[in-house]
Amino acid sequence: MTGFTTERLGWRPWLAPLAEDELTDAHHEALVDRARAASPYFRLLARDPDVLHARTKTDQDIFYNPDGGLPRAERELAATATSRHNGCVFCASVHARFAGHYSKRPDDVRRLLDEGVDARQDARWRAIIDAAVSLAATPSALGAEHLAALRAAGLDDLAISDLVHAGAFFGWANRLMLSLGEPTQEEQ
Amino acid sequence: MITDVIDHLAGIAPGSSLDRLRDRRPDAREHAQRGYDALFTPDDEDEVTLVERDAVAAFVTGLHQDLTVARFYADRLAELSPGLLKAVEAEIEAGRATGPYGVYQGALAAESREGPRYRAGDPAALGVRLAAAFEHAHLLVFRPREARAEALRDLRAAGWSETGIVTLSQLVAFLSFQVRVVTGLRLLNQEGVSA
């Protein structure tokens, strides 16, 4: 495997996904978005449809809910920092592209991938990345000092809660992506 | 009756400011709970038994060292299989570490960080399936970057089906999420929401 990248990668499962023609209505409901039936990752998770459904609805509200809180760019930044720290090259590639796109700061995101979570950033991104990385630790190292830094950087309670959820969600997603298959150079 | 496990574990009271904060993300709130329900009160236990789910949960949350969360899952296991709890507690002791760590291949080799590679201390007490599940859970919790196809072959050899492995992986990964949400919300709750 190469290092962290913002290129589009594929992902190859190590267990057999369900075949597209095996998917029932219940599976499609679990996939939420019908287009996801094309993805071997989601068709593999469809082996346990109830958990997949809960996972997907949780994911979408954490990242897409536009009602205040942390801007989308910084939810994606938290996802990228968590993935970078845990070592999920695939997740980091996807969410680094989102973070770069929504923030219009692709070079800063790129530096996070290239140099790691300690790479130079402005004060607000520093606080967000530090909080995400501390939360990614096992046991968690997130503390009152991180919340104080986030408040000093202008985050309100909903924004901090969004950051916690975005980081925590990638504690979930990274572990599935890393352990059920591997990234490939060709996009699928 | 606990209707929302995250609220229960983070100490969020109905009508409190944190309660209102969580309502701003209603789907995330509802489906974090539904994920818990799907994992711990599944429609059937053909692929992963209820005891296996509670034992893995007690092990994984014990490794995260959040005492409230760990106690919650240990109590669940104690209710379902009191004899197994002592064995699981010994495995938690043996498996404690600080992560994430692990060896990278190729371009990232310079970022490799060594750490313990847990093996079940008393596989006889756990049984073949659970011993393999604990070793896999420890890999996922602490060094997910080292996950390989071979690890899934070890689970297959211990009797886990492909669907069972998906559920087991979701269980470990979901708990990694849940415990972190609890940690973060509890911190916010303790310092008093300012909004």
> What's the CATH code of the domain at B79?
1.20.1290.10
Of B100, B108, B181, the CB nearest to A138: B100
**What's the alpha-carbon Rg for chain B, to the nearest Å?**
18
Tokens of A101: 């796109």
Residues of chain A neighbouring B118 (CB-CB closer than 8 A): none
Which of B145, B152, B190 to mutate to test binding with chain A, by most A CBs within 10 Å of its CB? B145
Tokens of B134: 């604990």
Smallest CA–CA distance, residue A64 to chain B, in Å, is 10
Say if B41 falls within a structural domain. Answer: no
Say if B37 falls within a structural domain. Answer: no
The amino acid at B32: A
pLDDT tens sequence for chain A (188 residues)? 679 999 999 999 999 999 999 999 999 999 999 899 999 999 999 999 999 999 999 999 999 999 999 999 999 999 999 999 999 999 999 999 999 999 999 999 999 999 999 999 999 999 999 999 999 999 999 999 999 999 999 999 999 999 999 999 999 999 999 999 999 997 65
Tokens of A123: 């004060």
Residues of chain A neighbouring B21 (CB-CB closer than 8 A): 157-158, 161
Say if B191 falls within a structural domain. Answer: no
The answer to whether the predicted template modeling score (pTM) of the entire model surpasses 0.90 is: yes
Tell me the C-alpha distance between B71 and B66, whole Å: 8
Residue in chain B lying closest to A162 (CA) = B25
Domain boundaries, chain A: 9-64, 72-179
Tokens of B121: 């201390």
Question: Which residue stretches of chain B have pLDDT < 50?
Answer: 195
Closest CA to B49 of B164, B178, B139: B164
Q: Give residue A187's pLDDT.
A: 60
Say if B4 falls within a structural domain. Answer: no
Domain that holds residue B68: 47-180
Residue range A66-93, pLDDT digits in tens: 999 999 999 999 999 999 999 999 999 9
Say if B147 falls within a structural domain. Answer: yes
Closest CA to B191 of B3, B5, B8, B10: B10
In B48-148, alpha helices (H):
50-64, 67-80, 82-95, 123-126, 128-142
Q: Can you state the percent helix, strand and coil of chain A, rounding each to 5?
A: 65, 5, 30
Q: Give residue B195's pLDDT.
A: 43
Tell me the C-alpha distance between A133 and A131, whole Å: 6
Q: Give residue B179's pLDDT.
A: 98
Residue range B1-34, pLDDT digits in tens: 789 999 999 999 999 999 999 999 999 999 999 9
Match 């490799």 to its residue by tokens: B112
Q: Give residue B130's pLDDT.
A: 98
Q: Give residue A1's pLDDT.
A: 62
Q: Which helix (H) or strand (E) holds A107?
A: helix A106-115
Which of A11, A41, A58, A145 to mutate to test binding with chain B, by most B CBs within 10 Å of its CB? A58
Taking an 8 Å cut-off on Cβ atoms, the answer to whether A178 and B144 are in contact is yes
Q: Give residue B1's pLDDT.
A: 75
Residue range B136-148, pLDDT digits in tens: 999 999 999 999 9
Taking an 8 Å cut-off on Cβ atoms, the answer to whether B191 and A147 are in contact is yes
What's the distance, CA A181 to chain centroid?
16
Taking an 8 Å cut-off on Cβ atoms, the answer to whether B145 and A178 are in contact is yes
**Count of domains forming chain B:** 1
In whole angstroms, how far apart are CA A51 and each of A47, A48, A65, B36, B38? 9, 6, 21, 8, 6
Taking an 8 Å cut-off on Cβ atoms, the answer to whether B24 and A2 are in contact is no
Q: Give residue A2's pLDDT.
A: 74
Say if B35 falls within a structural domain. Answer: no
Smallest CA–CA distance, residue A38 to chain B, in Å, is 18
**Contact of A70 with A91, CB cutoff 8 Å:** no
Q: Give residue B191's pLDDT.
A: 77
What CATH code is assigned to A72-179?
1.20.1290.10
Tokens of A157: 């309670």
Say if B85 falls within a structural domain. Answer: yes
